[in-house]
Amino acid sequence: MRRARGLSQEELANLLNVKQPSIAKLEQRTDMYISTLRDHIQALGGELILLARFPEGDVKISPFGAASEDRNAPA
């Protein structure tokens, strides 16, 4: 995502108030906290939206709140 947004590791590190090696290390991970992913996406100017898809409909998941049905969520 960082590369797609045209930012260097150093630029993203500055936005997140961390050092560049922290960004490099994080990009090598295969797993991370949702809150970490949310912070990075927000620093890139986006919004993290989690969606669980079921046959009956979609459920939009708020990482820090309750889940809610969202039958009109985009596919």
Cα angle at 68 between 65 and 72, to 5 degrees? 140
- Residue 14 buriedness (CB in 10 A; 0-12 / 13-18 / 19+): middle
> Which residue's structure tokens are 């590791």?
9
| Amino acid sitting at position 68 | S
The reply to whether 26 falls in a domain is yes
**Cβ-contact 56, 71 below 8 angstroms:** no
The pLDDT of residue 72: 55
The reply to whether 20 falls in a domain is yes
The reply to whether 58 falls in a domain is no
Q: Provide the domain limits for residue 14.
A: 9-43
9-34 pLDDT, tens digit each: 999 999 999 999 999 999 998 898 88
The reply to whether 50 falls in a domain is no
pTM for the structure as a whole: 0.68
* Backbone torsions φ then ψ of 29, nearest 5 degrees: -70, 150
